A and B are shown apart, each in its own frame.
Chain A
Amino acid sequence: MRNPVLAAIIASIFCSIIMILLLTNTVIDPYLKATNWSINLFDFYENNNEVNKIYILGDSLAQMGIDPLATGDYLKKNNESFKVYNLHYAGDNPYVRIVELAHMARSKPKIIVFCPQYRWFSTLYWTPSWGFYPQLEDRYSLVADKTILDPYTRSLFNKTQLDLIQKDSLNLFFYKKRYLIPSLQFRIYEALSINNSAMPRITNFNREVWPVYWIKKPQDTPNCEIIEDNNIQKKAFLYMTRYLKGQGIHVIIINMPYHPDYLRTISNESKNNYSNLMNETGCSYYNLDSFCSDLEFFDYGHINYYGRQNLTKEVAEIIRYEVTNAPK
Chain B
Amino acid sequence: MLPNEINYYLILLFLLIIIPLISRERQIVFLLVSSYILYIVSNSYLVFSLVFVTVLTFYCGRLIYDKNNRKLYLVLALLGCLGQLSFFKYSGFLALQGVSIFTFLALGLSYFTFMALSYVFDIYRGKLRPTNSLIEYALFVSFFPVITSGPILRAVDFLNQIKSRIVITSKDLQLGLTLITIGLILKLLIADNLAPFVDAIFSDPTKFGSQAIILGTLAFGIQLYFDFAGYSDIAIGTAMILGFKFSMNFNNPYFAMNPSDFWRRWNISLSTFLRDYLYIPLGGNRKGTLRTYLNLIVTMVLCGLWHGATWNFLIWGGYHGCLLCLHRLLPIPNRRIFLIIIMLLTQYFVFLGWLIFRVNNLDNLIYCLRMFLVPTGLNFFYFIIGLLAVSIFILSRDKIANNDWVCFIGSMKPIYWFIYMVIAINVIYWSWPVRVTKFIYAGF
Residue B426, interface by CB 8 Å:
yes
B384 to chain A, nearest CB (A): 28
Q: Is the CB of B173 within 8 A of A1?
A: yes
Residues of A within 8 A of B434 (CB): 174-175, 177-178
Query: 16 A-B contacts, Cβ less than 8 Å apart?
Result: A1-B20, A5-B170, A5-B414, A6-B173, A8-B417, A8-B421, A11-B418, A12-B422, A16-B426, A19-B422, A20-B426, A174-B434, A177-B430, A177-B434, A178-B434, A180-B430
Residue A326, interface by CB 8 Å:
no
Residues of A within 8 A of B8 (CB): none
Cα-based distance from A12 to B415 in the complex (angstroms): 10
The residue on A at minimum CB distance from B169 is: A1
With A1-B168, A16-B422 as given contacts, are A8 and B415 in contact (CB-CB < 8 Å)? Answer: yes
Residues of A within 8 A of B177 (CB): 9
Cα-based distance from A5 to B410 in the complex (angstroms): 11
Cα-based distance from A19 to B424 in the complex (angstroms): 12
Give the residues from 214 to 245 in chain B that come closer than 8 angstroms, CB to CB, to chain A: none
Q: Is the CB of A1 within 8 A of B170?
A: yes
B46 to chain A, nearest CB (A): 24
B168 to chain A, nearest CB (A): 7
Give the residues from 95 to 120 in chain B that come closer than 8 angstroms, CB to CB, to chain A: none
Q: Is the CB of A16 within 8 A of B168?
A: no
Residue A77, interface by CB 8 Å:
no
> Which of B170, B171, B417 has its CB near the most chain A CB atoms (within 10 A)?
B170
Give the residues from 247 to 286 in chain B that come closer than 8 angstroms, CB to CB, to chain A: none
Residue B425, interface by CB 8 Å:
yes
- Point out the residue from A8, A11, A20, A175 that lies within 8 Å of B429, measured CB to CB: A20
Contact with B along A1-33 (1 / 0, CB 8 A): 110111111011101100110000000000000
Residues of B within 8 A of A19 (CB): 422, 426
The residue on A at minimum CB distance from B173 is: A5
A142 to chain B, nearest CB (A): 12
Q: Is the CB of A12 within 8 A of B170?
A: no
Residue B174, interface by CB 8 Å:
yes
Cα-based distance from A307 to B347 in the complex (angstroms): 62
Residues of A within 8 A of B417 (CB): 5, 8
The residue on B at minimum CB distance from A10 is: B418
Q: Is the CB of B170 within 8 A of A177?
A: no
Residues of A within 8 A of B432 (CB): 177
Give the residues from 397 to 425 in chain B that come closer than 8 angstroms, CB to CB, to chain A: 414-415, 417-418, 421-422, 425
A28 to chain B, nearest CB (A): 10
A180 to chain B, nearest CB (A): 6
B242 to chain A, nearest CB (A): 13
Residues of B within 8 A of A2 (CB): 170
- Point out the residue from A1, A8, A15, A174 that lies within 8 Å of B414, measured CB to CB: A8
B422 to chain A, nearest CB (A): 5
Residues of B within 8 A of A180 (CB): 430
Residues of A within 8 A of B174 (CB): 5, 8
Residues of B within 8 A of A177 (CB): 429-430, 432, 434
Cα-based distance from A174 to B436 in the complex (angstroms): 13
Q: 13 other contacts beyond A16-B426, A16-B429, with CB at 8 A cut-off?
A: A1-B20, A5-B170, A5-B171, A5-B173, A6-B173, A8-B418, A13-B421, A13-B425, A15-B422, A19-B422, A19-B426, A177-B430, A177-B434
Query: What interface size band does chain A fall in?
Result: 20 to 34
Q: Is the CB of B170 within 8 A of A16?
A: no
Give the residues from 18 to 74 in chain A that come closer than 8 angstroms, CB to CB, to chain B: 19-20
Give the residues from 25 to 84 in chain B that come closer than 8 angstroms, CB to CB, to chain A: none
Q: Is the CB of B422 within 8 A of A9?
A: no
Give the residues from 423 to 444 in chain B that come closer than 8 angstroms, CB to CB, to chain A: 425-426, 429-430, 432, 434
Give the residues from 267 to 318 in chain A that come closer than 8 angstroms, CB to CB, to chain B: none
Residues of A within 8 A of B430 (CB): 177, 180
Give the residues from 188 to 241 in chain A that come closer than 8 angstroms, CB to CB, to chain B: none
- Point out the residue from A1, A12, A175 that lies within 8 Å of B418, measured CB to CB: A12
The residue on B at minimum CB distance from A178 is: B434
Residues of B within 8 A of A16 (CB): 421-422, 425-426, 429
With A1-B168, A16-B422 as given contacts, are A9 and B173 in contact (CB-CB < 8 Å)? Answer: yes
Q: Is the CB of B426 within 8 A of A4?
A: no
Q: Is the CB of A4 within 8 A of B414?
A: yes
Residues of B within 8 A of A8 (CB): 174, 414-415, 417-418, 421
> Which of A4, A8, A16, A177 has its CB near the most chain B CB atoms (within 10 A)?
A8
Residues of B within 8 A of A9 (CB): 173, 177, 421
Cα-based distance from A19 to B417 in the complex (angstroms): 17
Q: Is the CB of A12 within 8 A of B429?
A: no
A120 to chain B, nearest CB (A): 30
Residues of A within 8 A of B425 (CB): 12-13, 16
Cα-based distance from A175 to B432 in the complex (angstroms): 10
The residue on A at minimum CB distance from B417 is: A8
> Which of A1, A13, A177, A178 has its CB near the most chain B CB atoms (within 10 A)?
A1
Cα-based distance from A1 to B171 in the complex (angstroms): 9
The residue on B at minimum CB distance from A17 is: B425
Cα-based distance from A170 to B406 in the complex (angstroms): 33
The residue on A at minimum CB distance from B420 is: A12
- Point out the residue from B170, B171, B426, B429 that lies within 8 Å of A6, measured CB to CB: B170
Q: Is the CB of B168 within 8 A of A7?
A: no
B321 to chain A, nearest CB (A): 44
Give the residues from 99 to 137 in chain A that come closer than 8 angstroms, CB to CB, to chain B: none
Cα-based distance from A2 to B170 in the complex (angstroms): 6
Cα-based distance from A71 to B170 in the complex (angstroms): 72
Residues of A within 8 A of B421 (CB): 8-9, 12-13, 16
Instruction: Sort A-B residue pairs by CB-CB distance and give the 10 closest, nearest first.
Output: A12-B421, A4-B414, A16-B425, A5-B170, A8-B418, A2-B170, A8-B414, A12-B422, A1-B170, A5-B174
A226 to chain B, nearest CB (A): 33
A171 to chain B, nearest CB (A): 9
A2 to chain B, nearest CB (A): 4
B371 to chain A, nearest CB (A): 30
Cα-based distance from A8 to B425 in the complex (angstroms): 13
Cα-based distance from A177 to B431 in the complex (angstroms): 8
The residue on A at minimum CB distance from B174 is: A5
Cα-based distance from A262 to B57 in the complex (angstroms): 73
The residue on B at minimum CB distance from A11 is: B418
Residues of B within 8 A of A20 (CB): 426, 429
Residues of B within 8 A of A178 (CB): 434
The residue on A at minimum CB distance from B20 is: A1
The residue on B at minimum CB distance from A174 is: B434
Residues of B within 8 A of A11 (CB): 418
Cα-based distance from A12 to B414 in the complex (angstroms): 11
Contact with A along B161-189 (1 / 0, CB 8 A): 00000001111011001000000000000
The residue on B at minimum CB distance from A171 is: B434
The residue on A at minimum CB distance from B425 is: A16
Residues of A within 8 A of B169 (CB): 1
